[in-house]
Amino acid sequence: MSGKNRIIIKKSTNKQKYVVLKSANNKTIANTETYKSNQSVDKAVKALKKIVKNAIIVDQTKKEK
């Protein structure tokens, strides 16, 4: 999935979600804190999307059980 900036939602070892912003060349630009609620994660993603308008959103938590 190279060529696009990505906002990636991940799950930490303590099961809380956090967000990683990756550049088109797969370099990590930013990591957020961990969030206890899905609403907080959504707010973080929306804030990043306003700044990095061309970024695609990838939710990696849906793959994990």
Q: What are the two backbone dihedrals, phi and then psi, of residue 30, each rounded to the nearest 5 degrees? A: -155, 150
Position 1 pLDDT exceeds 80: no
Q: Per-domain residue ranges for the chain? A: 6-62
Averaged pLDDT for residues 43-65: 90
Q: How many CB atoms lie within 10 A of CB 17?
A: 22
Averaged pLDDT for residues 61-65: 71
Q: What does the block give as tokens for 47?
A: 């804030």
**What homologous superfamily is domain 6-62 in, according to CATH?**
YegP-like (3.30.160.160)
| Verdict on whether the full-model pTM lies above 0.85 | yes
- In the prediction, which pLDDT does 62 show? 85
- In the prediction, which pLDDT does 21 show? 98
Name the least confident of 1-5, 27-31, 41-45, 48-52.
1-5
